[in-house]
Amino acid sequence: MSGNFPKWLDNAVFYEIYPQSFMDSNADGIGDFQGIISKLDYIKELGCTAIWMNPCFDSPFGDAGYDVSDYYKAAPRYGTNEDLKRLFEEVHKRDMHILLDLVPGHTSVEHAWFKESMKAEENEFTHRYIWTDSIWEEPLGYGSIRGISSRDGSCVVNFFSHQPALNYGYYKPDPQKKWQQSVDDEGPRATVEAMKDIMRFWLSMGCDGFRVDMAGSLVKGDEDGKGTIKLWQNVREFLDEEFPEAAMVSEWGEPDKSLQGGFHMDFLLHFGPSHYNDLFRCDAPFFAGNGDASEFVKKYLENYEKSERKGLICIPSGNHDMDRLARTIKGEKLKIAFAFLLTMPGAPFIYYGDEIGMRHVENLVSVEGGYGRTGARSPMQWDNSVNAGFSSAPKDALYIPQDEATDRPTVQKQLEDPDSLIHEVKRLIAIRQAHEALQSKGEITFIYAEQKKYPLAYVRSCGEERVLVVLNPSDKAVEFTFAEPLKEKIYVLGDDMVVVDASVKVPPCSAHFYLF
């Protein structure tokens, strides 16, 4: 892992902004940079110290901006590069930090690099993407674009068919397929240098680092991630030399690999083996009160040990790729879910609107490649004015339709209600910030995480400080054993626990933090 660990990550609490849905300042129905600037004080007052903003570069928006057409230009619908620079400055004025979303795996078909690579004549960008030698040969295991240009060959795509995969080489090229380049070939090396140049540009402009999209997927046919780890170590060397304070958070889902690659923190993915969905999004989520956290804990500990107990695994409340948290977790149980999210190691990430329990908007037609995810991307609900204060555009001009329910949660309503979710989130962030043991680098030991049983109990520790966290989102009182005497209660939601000798009785639908 990098020798440079930005100090501000130690107690960072991130707020994820999906820029097109956060705040519209010019009445075109789409959020923008000026809108974000106007709400920075809100994010600061919530207690968040940092922002991750989803892709904001120029794009045809076939995949919500994850299909970049120019890495050096802000998307005009959000504003100019100068507006983005001002956003960085305004964030820093408030003693906060901001990560941009870097998409290194693919571009849009509209990117100038791709247009050049399509030409039959050899040029600087011929090997910027992965092309087979013949239009009749499709790359095994990957989709492709073919028959759209004079160049003979099929081009590998990532996910959507309009996202050609950038060429970082194959870990072990097949000698029978001459088009498969090694990671050390000139084309793949040029791609890495191009990414460094992009990072250099935005870090010099004032951003504080990057959240990297699908960071583990760059080298194709990669054996245990070895080629991709080496690639990121090379990027890390460049950053340590030129931008030692730049923070790097990966969407990888394997912290042992990403930390080795030089990332400071890794996201827990909602797909793959993490069991993250067991907690929040499945038929019987743990935090809905009738689920099982044991497999999550088992996998978490496995990753925790693999990453040398650094625990720099970020657990988000949600993001633009998942159902809204409030689709499956309701009422007071949402508060208990946040008690968990804000007491785990690594930096917590709060997806915009989750702090007020925004609902998943059902049955929407896909917008900009959202498909089933579109309902989690609806515009932020600020107040009771037109379009919930998001935009003064006509309703039918909004980027995505809003929750139409008369009782939809808004920031204004929740701030007026002392028992609301937003006040609980503020309280929990303040407690996290007051106790080093509860922050990113504090250690964790699970005390009780039995199969299909409640509560979930764990100890966070740092130096001499130790905090017991006990969470019971079920509707029944439960018991577990904890031998050490509890000293000071620092947080309770619901009724108090009853401790008799080593037996701890935990009331239904409750959360507790104790120093001991």
**Per-residue model confidence as pLDDT tens digits over 310-360:** 889 999 999 999 999 999 999 999 999 999 999 999 999 999 999 999 999
**Model confidence pLDDT, tens digit, residues 279-320:** 999 999 999 999 999 999 999 999 999 888 888 999 999 999
* Alpha-helix runs per DSSP H in 1-80: 33-38, 40-46
* pLDDT score at 1: 46
Q: What is the pLDDT of residue 499?
A: 94
Mean pLDDT computed over 464-489: 97
Q: Which domains, and CATH codes, for the chain? A: 7-104+188-431 (3.20.20.80), 106-167 (3.90.400.10), 444-515 (2.60.40.1180)
Mean pLDDT computed over 139-150: 93
- According to DSSP H, which parts of 312-366 are helical? 332-341
Angstrom distance (rounded) from CA 437 to CA 444 = 9
Question: Does 2 have pLDDT greater than 80?
Answer: no
Span 212-216, mean pLDDT?
97
Q: What is the dihedral of CA 201, 4, 254, 450, to 10 degrees?
A: -140
Q: How far apart are CA 408 and CA 396, in angstroms?
A: 18
pLDDT at 86 over 80: yes
Query: φ and ψ at 205, to 5 degrees?
Result: -75, -25
Taking each helix axis from N to C terminus, what angle separates 186-205 and 226-242, rounded to the nearest 10 degrees? 40
- Helix (H) or strand (E) holding 488, with range, is strand 488-493
Buried b (16+ CB within 10 A) or exposed e, 183-204: beeebbbebbeebeebbeebbe
User: 234 near 281, Cβ under 8 Å?
Assistant: no
pLDDT, tens digit, 9 for 90 and up, residues 418-433:
999 999 999 999 999 9
Q: Are 357 and 326 in contact (CB under 8 A)?
A: yes
Under 8 Å between Cβ of 336 and 511: yes
Handedness of CA 313, 314, 320, 322 (dihedral sign): positive
Neighbours of 451 (CB within 10 A): 10
Q: Over the stretch 407-461, which tens digit does the pLDDT of each residue have?
A: 999 999 999 999 999 999 999 999 999 999 999 999 999 999 999 999 999 999 9
